[in-house]
Structure 1
Amino acid sequence: MATISSLGVGTGLDLESIVTGLMDIERQPLDRLESKQSTINAQISAYGSFKSKLSTFQSAMESLSSASSFKVFQANSQDEDLFTATATSTAATGSYNIDVTQIATRDKLASSAFTDYNTTVGEGTLTISVGSESFDVTIDSSNSSLAQIRTAINNASENTGVTASIITDDSGARLVLTSNETGTDNAISVSVSGDSDGNDSDASGLSAFVYSSGGTQNLSSISSAKDAIVSIDGFTVTSSSNSIANAIDGVTLNVKDVGSSTLDITRDDDAILESVNEFASAYNALMTEIKSQRNGQLEADSTLLTIESQVRDVFNSGASITGSSFSYLIQAGISINKEGVMTVDEDKVNEVLSSDFTSFANLFSAEGEGFANRLESLADSWLQTDGLIDSKEEGLNARLTSLDRQKEQMEARLEMTETRLRAQYSAMDTLVSNLQSQGDYLISQLSSMNSN
């Protein structure tokens, strides 16, 4: 019996095209599923873009949603060579006379000169104290050179705040010990026990490093540990650090040199105005995004309408706000024009900041009433886990998962259908081919009989 190696050989028909055409029809439901998936993926992507705009909106609302947001102060030193300063939200406006009589310094001690950094010093135990804290460094034959002693001090696991270095001058190499922190609380002292030369306090061997402010001083003082001393409006403040925090409430002084000057703490209205402009920009960007998505992938999505409606409800609700003489943003220089774009009248804002700062601040930040406070709460609810956006994205992803399962099932059925069609048409092709062979044989036999 003849066999068919390719569809259509037996019949002469284009059976391959017939099977392909039939499978194209069978595949139409799968194509519709893939089209739905593409749409959902586009919607998920659109929500990603929308979510980004919402996050920006949330941050802008947060910057004006609490009273501390308006407590923006700048500290101005009249002589930054003497001191600088920074102010936090707990500061208050004012002017202060600052007199720096002493800056904080580190303790620094140096040894006598050795031939070079490879010179063997001695063995024993160094006890180095930094203020009330101390640590031991064991020196033996494996680490008794000047350089090795330096490394052993720096690598000591219990080092309480001293750095060892070597300075080589015309006289030789010297070990230098420096406290890591400034102030008298970080003064260095060194004692030795078990010196290999039998004397724990002489100027030779390991005891060459002994130093006590009230006793043996085999090291020489390069600089002494001192506290910073500052007079603020006649009141003396002593600090182990040159960074002095909260001597003036909410202010950190950073003293640099001895001298007198003035420190002014003022409210930073420019920073507040910048936050107001960011507030308007974030609102405009959100409304533009909503309009864009409504004309795009999220055309029929009710979530956009919900968010837009909630935002407009906040702006359109004029009500008494605790601590503010204003009920609407337009009263403070912020308006929304007929195109829906928010604009900021900076001159008006600056005027209100100067004339009625408290009302302006509460207009935005009053708990549960201020515009930025309410909008931040809304944005938080939209973006929180299981919130409006999260739930929408979960729903879209669930639909994708369901469509994936349907596709798998449909693709399996299509594979079975194509296998069945090919088997049927192959059998038909073989049958027709066999019939044609038999017909050709009979015709040849008849022709032979006629010839005979």
Structure 2
Amino acid sequence: MASFSSIGLGLGGSVDVNGLIKASVDAVKIPITKTNGLNDQASFVSAKISTFGQLKSMVSDLSTAVSKLNSVTGWNAVTTTSSNTDYVNASATGGTVATSFSVEVQSLAKAQTMTSAPLLPVGGFMGVGSLKLELGSPDAIAAGTASAVDIGIGPNDRLSDVAGKINGANVGITATILSDASGERLLLRSKTTGADAAFRLSVTDEDGDDTDASGLSRLVDGATLESGVNAQATVNGIPVSSPTNQFANTVAGVTFNAVKITTAPVEITVAKDDTAVKSNIDAFVKAYNTLNQALNNITKYDKDTKTAGLLQGDSTAIGLQNALRNAIQSVAGGTGPFRSLSDIGVVSAGGLSNLSPTGDLEVNTAKLNKALENPEAVKAMFRGPEGGGGSDGVAEKINAVTSGLLSATGFFASKDKLLQGSLKLNAQEIQRVNDQADRLETSLKARYTALDKQMSQLNALNAYISQQVTTWNKSSG
């Protein structure tokens, strides 16, 4: 609140007018500043918005984790091994049929290269004309149907300029310069390996002779060429080739990479990966426990410290926790040997038959390993039986709950809208009270200013009268 130091002079200088005004304004602002007033309420609502935002993120993590148990790919993980990764390594996509095969590598893929004859003088001008780079398969180049680019060479261009212009054309060819005692050479290399990633360099020389040993012709006269080649291998003795050292889908679902030429067959094995399923189950349990523990903390009352969690007594938070716990205890449809999470070893923490007092889950590894001896039955428990209605599996039921909570019209969206509305109304009420306080302050300042002016005038009149009385007394005496 702004102060004005001149006020109070007319009141004798001993009246704290600023203090009086401040006290009056502060009294009006009590609804804002008091304990549990509007400021505290705003902080409380903001804390709730933040907390529900964190819970939403945890529910999203749970939804992601359970989705992996509800998807086909979550159950189709495979592991791929090589008997010698120094020579051949491999990977396979989920769902690939378990298999094994041997690979022998006879040659690795190479890119085409071209090296010019040594050029002298080093750093000299190359001559005027143009270069033509043709790119494609050898047959396309021979037929004149390959893609081509022309590069102009000026009178001041040196070999470094030529290399720079080729690289700048960005046509899949790299150009470098090699210098030795015999001069400098232009080195060209295709960025792509394989027999069909070929190129041809030709020149149009200003001197009219494109094949002599002067001017631009020097780039092709006497140049050496090494064609690109495909990688060659055998799979179970059957010849296969690839333009790169990667053989993709030569064996369905499997990609193997030739690293070195082999000296003995390398065995590649693809097998079902149960560890991926276990990891997905562990991730699901961890995501659920993280969410459950957060809900426990914010809804509990600590009788020892006599403190309550932020959402202690909040019916919506308790309803959220109950909905999740009910989903966790869902029973799958069908007639399989496993119908619930506890049947496969996902049990209440502490080994209780139902949810533990905290509601946390844990994995009984021995029981889960035993259940995974029948992986299709475990899969059916999570995903529902084949041909089911899409809501028979435990994972499907949990996923339906989390998806509903996270939807645009679900629990979190509605809760956030409600809290944001409350925060907006609170801000409006704070503004109303502040406006009222501002009006009062303005009014009091005006009134005290007017009073002070009147008192100053009265004090001046009083002083004048006193002076006149004194004068009269002296004259009459």
- What TM-score range do you get, normalising by the shorter chain? 0.7 to 0.9
Aligned to 1:89: 94
Structure 1 distance, partners of 2:207, 2:472, is 136
Any idea what SS the aligned residue of 2:205 has?
Answer: coil
1:9-408 matches, cutoff 5 A: 10=11, 12-31=14-33, 32-115=37-120, 117-131=122-136, 132=140, 133-142=146-155, 144-156=157-169, 159=171, 161-192=172-203, 194-210=204-220, 218-221=222-225, 223-259=226-262, 260-295=265-300, 296-321=309-334, 324-337=336-349, 338-339=356-357, 340-353=359-372, 355-366=373-384, 367-408=390-431
Q: Tell me the alpha carbon deviations over residues 307-352 of structure 1, each in whole angstroms, 9 at most, x when there is no partner.
A: 2222222222323248x53101111111123232100112322232
Q: Which moved more, 1:40-49 or 1:72-81?
A: 40-49
Structure 1 distance, partners of 2:173, 2:407, is 49
Q: Which moved more, 1:394-403 or 1:172-181?
A: 394-403
Q: Which moved more, 1:175-184 or 1:330-339?
A: 330-339
Aligned to 2:143: none
The CA deviation at 1:251 is: 1.5
Structure 2 distance, partners of 1:61, 1:156, is 50
Matched, 1:7 2:8: yes
Aligned to 2:353: none
Cα RMSD after superposing both structures: 2.7
Structure 1 distance, partners of 2:125, 2:167, is 18
Q: Does structure 2 retain, via aligned residues, the 8 Å contact 1:381–1:387?
A: yes
Any idea what SS the aligned residue of 1:80 has?
Answer: coil
The CA deviation at 1:19 is: 2.9
Residue type of the alignment partner of 1:342: L
Q: Which moved more, 1:336-345 or 1:395-404?
A: 395-404
| TM-score computed with the length of structure 1 as normaliser | 0.87
The change in CA–CA distance for 1:432 and 1:111 in structure 2 (over 3 A counts) is closer
Structure 1 distance, partners of 2:213, 2:409, is 74
The CA deviation at 1:426 is: 4.2
Q: Does structure 2 retain, via aligned residues, the 8 Å contact 1:245–1:251?
A: yes
Q: Tell me the alpha carbon deviations over residues 206-244 of structure 1, each in whole angstroms, 9 at most, x when there is no partner.
A: 33444xxxxxx83213x4311112222233322111111
Q: Which stretches in structure 2 are left out of the alignment for 5+ residues?
A: 141-145, 301-308, 350-355, 385-389
How many aligned positions are there? 437
Aligned to 1:214: none
The change in CA–CA distance for 1:430 and 1:202 in structure 2 (over 3 A counts) is closer
Structure 2 distance, partners of 1:187, 1:426, is 96
Q: Which moved more, 1:82-91 or 1:276-285?
A: 82-91
The CA deviation at 1:9 is: 5.2
Structure 2 distance, partners of 1:64, 1:272, is 8
Residue type of the alignment partner of 1:128: L
Structure 2 distance, partners of 1:176, 1:81, is 30
Structure 2 distance, partners of 1:135, 1:427, is 94
The CA deviation at 1:262 is: 0.3
Q: Does structure 1 retain, via aligned residues, the 8 Å contact 2:126–2:155?
A: no
The CA deviation at 1:85 is: 0.9
Any idea what SS the aligned residue of 1:63 has?
Answer: helix
Residue type of the alignment partner of 1:231: T
Q: Which moved more, 1:308-317 or 1:250-259?
A: 308-317
Q: Does structure 2 retain, via aligned residues, the 8 Å contact 1:117–1:166?
A: no
The CA deviation at 1:356 is: 0.5
Q: Tell me the alpha carbon deviations over residues 78-105 of structure 1, each in whole angstroms, 9 at most, x when there is no partner.
A: 1112111112213222211112222211
Any idea what SS the aligned residue of 1:81 has?
Answer: coil
Structure 2 distance, partners of 1:115, 1:336, is 83
Structure 1 distance, partners of 2:86, 2:18, is 90
| TM-score computed with the length of structure 2 as normaliser | 0.83
The change in CA–CA distance for 1:197 and 1:335 in structure 2 (over 3 A counts) is same
Residue type of the alignment partner of 1:329: L
Q: Does structure 1 retain, via aligned residues, the 8 Å contact 2:153–2:162?
A: no
Structure 1 distance, partners of 2:398, 2:72, is 15
Aligned to 1:213: none
Structure 1 distance, partners of 2:341, 2:76, is 20
Q: Which moved more, 1:136-145 or 1:94-103?
A: 136-145
Structure 1 distance, partners of 2:315, 2:213, is 87
Q: Which stretches in structure 1 are left out of the alignment for 5+ residues?
A: 211-216
Q: Does structure 1 retain, via aligned residues, the 8 Å contact 2:328–2:398?
A: no
